Structure formats: C-alpha cells, structure tokens
Chain A
C-alpha cells in the first residue's frame, strides 16, 4: 500500500515537474494557464461538496478551491498564444498541499542562514535597567520578590547539595547554576494547571510551585519520603500535586510526550497548556523533531522551552548544529518561535506569558529559545574546565549573572534591600542544611518497593523473585545495606 502511494506520488511529482518545466520555458498553453487555480488553502482544509478532487490515492489533498475548477497537469495539444503569458508567469502558481506556490524563473536557493542572526528579546540591560521601548509584562511586587527569592533559593540549594555530593552524602547532583532565571521566571508565567514535562535542569519550576527544600532533599537521598521511592538517581524529581511529571534521564524523550499530553488538554477543553523543557543538545535528538512536527500537525497547546546554555556536557553548540541556534527551527515546522535572553528574568517571564496565552487561545505550539550559559559542570561526574576556559565560566558567572542583574532591578524598585538579602541567604542556607540532615536521618524505602509499581498489579514472577531475595538476605544479612528495611 505504502509502495503504491509512493509510486503514485512520484508520478504526480513527475507531472508537476513537467508542468513546471513547461511553465519555465513559457510554452504553456492557454488551456493550461486558464485552468490553474488561483487560490490557496489545502492540507487540513475542509473538503466542500462540489470541490474537484484530483485522481490518485491521495488526491483529496490536492483539492481545488473553486468548485468546478480542476488542476490539469497536462496541457491540451491545442495550444495558442505562447508568448502572451510571459509576463504573468511570475504571478502564476501551483496549487499544492499547504497552499499556493508561485513560480519563479530565478534559480534561487534559500540561503543556509539569514544575513542577520535572529535577535534576542531582552528588557533588562546588564545593569538591571529597563531598556527603553521594552515590551514588558507587568509584574507585581509580590511576584517580583518571589521570583528573586526563588532564584536565590535554587542557587543556595545547588551550592549546598553540590557540596553534599562531594562529601559523599548523596550519590550524584546536577546544578542549575547560571540558568536560575529560566526555571523560576518561566514557572512564574505559568498557571498551576499547566502540565510540566521537565528535562533535569529546571528545579526552579518545582520550587515555584511549592515543592519544599525537604522534598528536594528527600529525593536526592532516596529515602522513604521520596515520591519516587528511592528508585532513581538524585535530581530526578517528580510531583503529581505540582503537575510536574517525573524526570527521566534520556534526553528529549519528554518532548513528543508533551505533544500527546497537550492533545489531551485540548480534547478536554482545558484552559491550560503543557510546557516541556530541553537543552541545546536535546534538539539534536530525533524526539525533538518528532515533537515539534507532531505538535504543529496536531495543533496542540504546548510551549517548548529550549535552554541553549552552550554546552551538552563537553560538546559546544558549534559541534551540535549549524543553524542559527534553535529558534529558527520552529518556522520549518510551522511553529511560532521567539529567542529570549535566558539570563533576563523579566524577559523570560514576558516571553513565556505571551507564549502561554497564544498556545492556549490558538491551540498551537510555541517554541522558545532561551540563551543562557551552564555555569556549573554538567553534573558532579564532570569537570568542565577540561574543555572550556575558567575565564569563560567566570565571565558568565559574574558579569552575566541572571540573579545579580535581576536583583538590581528589584532593589531599584525599592522591593529589596541588602538587609533582606543577607537575611534571605542565611535563612535558606539554614533550611537547606536542616533538610539535608533530616533527609539523611530518614530511613530508606522498604525492600518491597523494589518490586511494586513495575506493573499496576503484582505478577507471579516478581512475587517469586521477592521471596527468593528475602531468603538470600535472611542468610547473608551482612552483605546488604543495613538502612533498607527488609
């Protein structure tokens, strides 16, 4: 069947090519010309009664707009006035799925890149001043301060958890250093009903939604309070009550899922969208392509946020793609896109607010590329000074810090002070340390949770294996971790 279709398609393409050649030589018969359909509108358009449909298995997609007219690929032999239509050639076109395609005698290729890179939306300059003429989404004092304290909280939590890993108290950690604004500000622009499918460098979203420091610590320590029941590596958070689907390590797998989840919201007529995060490296995965294409074709309310932080572990973006970043990919899929300064919390807030509104009201996907920098190592298993200079890291850590820039703006508004700053940092530090101590003291999940949730029910092979394992543990208790209740 597929073979048949492709065969008939090739035939159709041949015919189109044939007609194009004819047209290019300006030897098109009047019959041919007069029957070209001067209108657009195809794929996905409604088929009206009386519309003419071309032959072929997929002829329905080649429908004409006006009833009674028909695209004819083969000119009649009774041609006349061969030169009369020369001037009209350029305005003539071909009805083709997706809309009308005009002809051109120019043999022009689309450039591999535009002359100018896509500009980056930003409202705060490096000193935290609002750039004149900026389109700003208004932020209340309450939200503005919460955004600031959120960024500081993530920064503090990252520093202490990172050290905790270095001390061997947790097995792994991964910071959001330098990218705090994206997580926090995007979350601030969303509503609680919006469903988040994260990658792994967006704990700010969870924090904004009320996930506590204790809950973060419980996951990283894999204790019995961890919602994931100690099954995944640290930082693989997930929280049903916060509409934040559990993180998985494979890159970009969440993206096509986001399209499916968004389809559900659309079918349920919910005033909500799905927000899916990925990094620059993730855009090279097939799942990124699958997701954008599905989201566009299915017309679903999803906002894809790509944190272009320059590095996929040690691979710089110059070795990742040749396009002008991520933002330009959107158009090829028929997706509206924007590039935003990911280190400008206000710009991120504004871009995501608008993206969300468009996604929900128009039932369409939106792509947001946030330019930022991964100030930290990829994870605790990585030493990024092996592949990038300390100067580069320092520059982004200090001169381009999203937190420092945003603080200047908040403080200039009179919403923040040096006293509040030292108070906040001291408090958060204390809370994180307390959370770590409690998480460390809390016992591990019981052994039975090794076997539950593989399936909704409990199949006999697992029952058998659990029984056998318990018997082994009974005989050799000294060979098993003492902190897991058996």
Chain B
C-alpha cells in the first residue's frame, strides 16, 4: 500500500484533441507500456476493480450499482467479485451511508455510491455527525476510515436543479472528512484509490460531465496519487488560477486565451478540498501577485471564499489585485439558463483586470491593491517605509 508519489506533473495540453481533458501525464506514467486511452468512468471502474481485487474486505454498493450503475462506473464488478461484495441497496441515501459507516467501523473498506451528489443530503447527518466524528468522539477507539462515498457532481448540460449541483462546500465545513475531486481520468483513478485506502472517511465527487468526455492515457496498473497535495499544472507569472474537477479544463482554455493577450497564467488543481494544500497556492500567489478562484457552485459561501480569505491572510502584501472569484450564480441550478449560469472562459477573461497590471509590467508599488477601509484598525495597516516580514496576522 505504499503511496506512489508522482512529482509535480507537467501539463500536456490536449485541447484540440479533446476539449475536456486536462491531461496530467507525467513521464513516469505515460512511458508505461500498459497505458490505455480511456474515459473517466472507465478510470473509476478500473480503480474499483483494483480496490476490490487488492483488498478482500472491500465492498462496493449503492443504488443500481449491481448492473453497472447509471453512469457505468461499476460495470463488471458484481460479475467478477460476486453479489456479496458488489450489490444494490434500497433507495435510501441515509441508509447507504449509515450502512457504510457500520461496515467501515468493523474494519472494512466500504465504497458507497450516491447516485447523484444532488441526492446526498438525506445522508448529510450520517456524514457530518457520524462519519466525520467517529474517530474523534471515541478517542480513537473506533473509526470508519475505510469509508469512501462516491458521488457524481456538477453540470452536465441538461441536468437542471437536481442533476447538476456541486455541494462540495457543505462538506468542506466538516472536520474529520476529506473531500476529493479529480479533474481527469488519470487523476480519477489515482485519487480514488488513494481515497479508498486513506484511513479517513472521504467524500469523492466525480465530475459527471467528464465521465465520457474526458479521455487520456491511464496506466492499467495499481497507482495512487497523494491527497491534500495541489498540483501546478501550468506555470505562469502574472496570475494564479485555482480550481478543481470539471472547472480545470474550462480554466485552462481561459489560460490559453489570456496567453494570446500576453498574460501568463499559473493554473493549480486543488484536488483535495479539505484538508487543502495552502502552501502550493500561497507559493504561487506570492510569485504572481494575483489570484482567481473558480467553481461551479454558487459564489456565496462557496469554497472559493475560503481560499480567498486564506490567501488574503497569508499573501496580503504580495497581492497586486483583489482576489477574484468566477463561480456559479446564487440561483438554483437552472436548466435552460445553464449556459448563463456557468462560470465560463468569458467570465474569467472579464475578471482579469483590464488595462492593466496584467498586460504591462508595472513597478510593484504602482500595482493595484484593494483599498483599505478607513475604519480598519491600525493593527491591520503595515508600518510605513518598513518591510513587513511578520505580523500578528501571520504574514510572513
């Protein structure tokens, strides 16, 4: 179960070949002779095959899982591993997660599927009050670390209110669980295997838009990608873009567009939302001086707000522009209006300050910085004419 760490994976753009693939191929991965070009649901399926094969105490279950699942992620599992290890459950999300917690608490790997992330809410209590606190409340006598909850999330083009939501922020407010979202087939397989084998309960959201659309070379063997490690998938010097899941490919297109205008973008895939890799984002923003966060979920109280706040705490003096968020609107997820709702490449371009610090390199002290409100206590103001290396706020 050694965690195979891949170094920072360099980006090989697949735009042109496949619009929705943010490839993450490293040399180490792609050189393998047994890599095959597969889509995201197949990558998930491979991971589940491996998880069941490598641990006889692992189980896969959920609504309609037995025949292969409505997104085909569990295809062939029941046939290969038997109906005792891969099975349908009654249509009851709180039951699925409750059952999974009990199974995991007995030392098993319980891989539960919630058919759509939109339907995870009946299980919210089991996730928040039970799974997340199982270890802590027992003083580490019991744990349900073998629990992984998989759920397809996000826009799909025609999903309307209840087949499109991105509920990750709800779960990011819960210490004790991890939230992981992959951006591509290769990532999905490696991160899912890590999530399944992680000794903590993990909520694993799969971008359903990419199930069939995203195709890339994925090694056929057993590999894992580290959790809580963000990845710089495109290096740049003018602005940092942070996102996860399906947004990554949209953001990459924005990076390419911006590049035509002479703006050099650094693109980071967060991958694990909690506990998240602040260090990588901080290092990037210190370099670029600007940050844009993007997610499909509504902007208000989305996880972008948390990233924004954390980065302002740590990079206030290096920021040359306000942190920008390009996110879903504060409406229920709409059907006909989906193209208007979505955080798109165009919205991202608009959010790049015009005129601008991004296009012409200006002297740092002339750069745009957010105005400080007059009533801001003196504590928050950096001393004049003095380089601040550390304050009570934790700047460094």
Contacts and interface: CB of A to CB of B under 8 A. Distances in A.
Do the two shown chains form a genuine complex with each other? yes
Contacts of A258: 102
Contact of A261 (B97, B103, B138, B200): B103
A227 B99 contact: no
A260 B110 contact: yes
Interface string B134-169: 111111111101000000000000000000000000
A267 B82 CA distance: 12
B90 interface: yes
A461 B102 contact: no
A248 B70 contact: no
A485 interface: no
Contacts, number: 160
Interface in A298-348: 298
Nearest to A302: B102
Contacts of A287: 94-95, 98, 125-126
Interface in A35-51: none
Interface in B219-241: 228
B70 A290 contact: no
B279 A261 contact: no
Given A454-B136, A461-B275, A227 B141 contact: yes
Given A2-B115, A264-B103, A290-B94, A246 B176 contact: no
Interface stretch (A102-110, A205-213, A231-239, A426-434): A231-239
Given A238-B141, A294-B89, A265 B106 contact: yes
Task: Using C-beta atoms within 8 Å of the partner chain, give the interface range for chain B.
Answer: 35 or more
Interface string B87-130: 10110101101111111111110100001000000100110011
A236 B101 CA distance: 19
B105 A245 contact: yes
A390 interface: no
Contact of A264 (B108, B228, B394): B108
Given A240-B141, A253-B129, A456-B200, A291 B98 contact: yes
B260 interface: no
B287 interface: no
A1 B90 CA distance: 16
A248 B142 contact: no
Interface in A213-245: 226-229, 231-232, 236, 238-240, 245
Contacts of A291: 95, 98
Nearest to A265: B106
Contact of A453 (B84, B140, B275, B279): B140
A426 to B, nearest CB: 33
A293 B90 contact: yes
Contacts of A457: 199-200
Contacts of B87: 298
B94 A228 contact: no
Interface in A356-393: none
B130 A246 contact: no
Contacts of A239: 141
Contacts of A227: 138-139, 141
Nearest to A267: B84
A248 B140 contact: no
Contact of B94 (A238, A260, A263, A286): A286
B176 A250 contact: no
A255 to B, nearest CB: 7
B175 A454 contact: yes
Given A286-B122, A290-B95, A2 B70 contact: yes
A257 B98 contact: yes
B189 interface: no
Contact of B130 (A250, A263, A298): A250
B14 interface: no
- Residue from A1, A238, A260 having most chain B Cβ neighbours under 10 A: A260
A246 B135 CA distance: 9
A477 interface: no
B345 interface: no
B359 interface: no
Contacts of A260: 98-106, 110
Contacts of B175: 454
A179 B94 CA distance: 29
A439 interface: no
B64 A1 contact: yes
Nearest to B394: A468
Contacts of B122: 286
A236 B137 contact: yes
Contacts of A256: 94-95, 97-99, 101-102, 126
A253 B129 CA distance: 9
B92 A293 contact: yes
Contacts of A265: 106
Contact of B129 (A197, A246, A250): A250
Given A259-B98, A259-B99, A261-B102, A290 B141 contact: no
A147 B107 CA distance: 32
A250 B101 CA distance: 15
- Residue from A197, A255, A298 having most chain B Cβ neighbours under 10 A: A298
Given A229-B139, A255-B98, A257-B130, A459 B105 contact: no
A347 B102 CA distance: 29
A38 B283 CA distance: 74
- Residue from B104, B110, B138 having most chain A Cβ neighbours under 10 A: B138
B208 interface: no
Interface in B161-219: 175-176, 178, 199-200
B211 to A, nearest CB: 13
A250 B106 CA distance: 21
A148 to B, nearest CB: 30
A195 B106 contact: yes
B317 to A, nearest CB: 19
| 6 nearest A-B pairs in the assembled complex, by CB-CB distance | A256-B98, A260-B102, A290-B95, A257-B102, A264-B106, A459-B275
19 contacts: A231-B137, A240-B141, A240-B142, A255-B98, A256-B98, A256-B99, A257-B102, A259-B95, A260-B102, A260-B106, A265-B106, A267-B84, A286-B122, A287-B98, A289-B92, A294-B89, A294-B95, A454-B175, A455-B135
Given A265-B106, A290-B98, A456-B145, 17 more contacts: A2-B70, A195-B106, A229-B140, A248-B137, A256-B101, A257-B130, A259-B102, A260-B100, A264-B106, A274-B102, A290-B90, A290-B99, A291-B95, A294-B90, A455-B178, A456-B199, A461-B278
